[in-house]
A = this chain, B = another copy of it.
Amino acid sequence: MAEHRTTRHQARAAAIRQIKDEARRQLREDGVHNLSLRGVARSMGFVSSAIYRYFPSRDELLTALIIDAYDALGEAAEQADDPGAPRAQRWARVCRAVRAWALANPAEYMLIYGSPIPGYQAPRDTVGPATRVAKVLTTIAEDAPDSPLSPTLAKQMTDTAAALDSPIAPGAMARVVRAWTQVSGMVSFELFGQFRGAIEPADEFFDAAVADLAEQVGLGS
C-alpha cells in the first residue's frame, strides 16, 4: 500500500513537472498573458479539465512557475559563489551568474523581474525564494563597513538585514540593495532591449560595472 501511494505520488509529481515544462515553453513563445491552462492541456494531448487536478487555477500555475524561477536563479547565484575566494571576486562571479541565467532564461526572468502580471497577486509562498539572490550578495558583504543613514533608512535596512537573517550593518545593507538594483537594472535594460543599437554586446559594460560595484559596496579589491 505504501508502495502504491509512492508510485501515485511519483506519477503526480511527474505530471506536475510535465505541466510546468509545457507552461514554460508557452511562456517563452507567447509571453505570460497568452499562457492558458487550456493551451497547456491541449499541447499535452489531454483535455483541459484534467489539468485542474494538479493546478486549481491559472494563478496557482503562475505561482509555481514564479517560485521555480526564483529558485532556479537563486540556485545559480548560490552555485556561482565560492566562499573561499576574495569577496570582490565572489561578488563579481555571482552577479555574472545572475546575468547569465537571465540571458539563458529571459521569459522566466521577466516573470519575476518584469512588469507585474495584471490581476495576479503573489502569495506569501514566493517571498522566501525571492530573497535567495539578495541573501547570497548580502552574505558576501557581511563584513563590509557601516555608513551613516537617516533614521527611516536605518530602520528599513535593519529590518531588511533581519529578514535576510544577516548580521550585516545597516549602511552596508543599503549599499548592497543599491548595488543589486543596479545589477538588476542593467540586466533588465539588456533583456528588454534598452541597449539595442548602442551597447551590444553588453558583456564588458556589465563586467566593468559589477567590478566597480564590488568596490562601492566595500568589498576591497
Residues of A within 8 A of B (CB): 30-31, 33-34, 110, 113-119, 122, 127, 149-150, 152-153, 156, 159-160, 163, 174, 177-178, 181-186, 188-189, 192-194, 197-200, 204-205, 208-209, 212, 216
Contact = CB atoms under 8 A, between A and B. Distances in A.
Nearest to A109: B115
Number of copies: 2
A152 B204 contact: yes
**In the A-B complex, the 4 residue pairs with the closest CB atoms:** A185-B185, A114-B115, A31-B118, A182-B182
Main secondary structure of the interface of A (DSSP, over half): helix
Given A110-B115, A115-B192, A185-B185, A177 B156 contact: no
A97 B62 CA distance: 34
A65 to B, nearest CB: 15
Nearest to A190: B181
A197 B113 CA distance: 16
Give the one of A30, A119, A159, A204 with max B CB within 10 A: A204
A215 to B, nearest CB: 11
Contact of A116 (B153, B156, B193): B193
A216 B113 CA distance: 26
Contacts of A117: 31
B199 A160 contact: yes
B156 A192 contact: no
Nearest to A179: B182
Nearest to A201: B152
Nearest to A209: B178
B118 A194 contact: no
Given A152-B204, A181-B185, A182-B178, A192 B114 contact: yes
Given A33-B33, A178-B182, A205-B174, A198 B159 contact: yes
A170 to B, nearest CB: 12
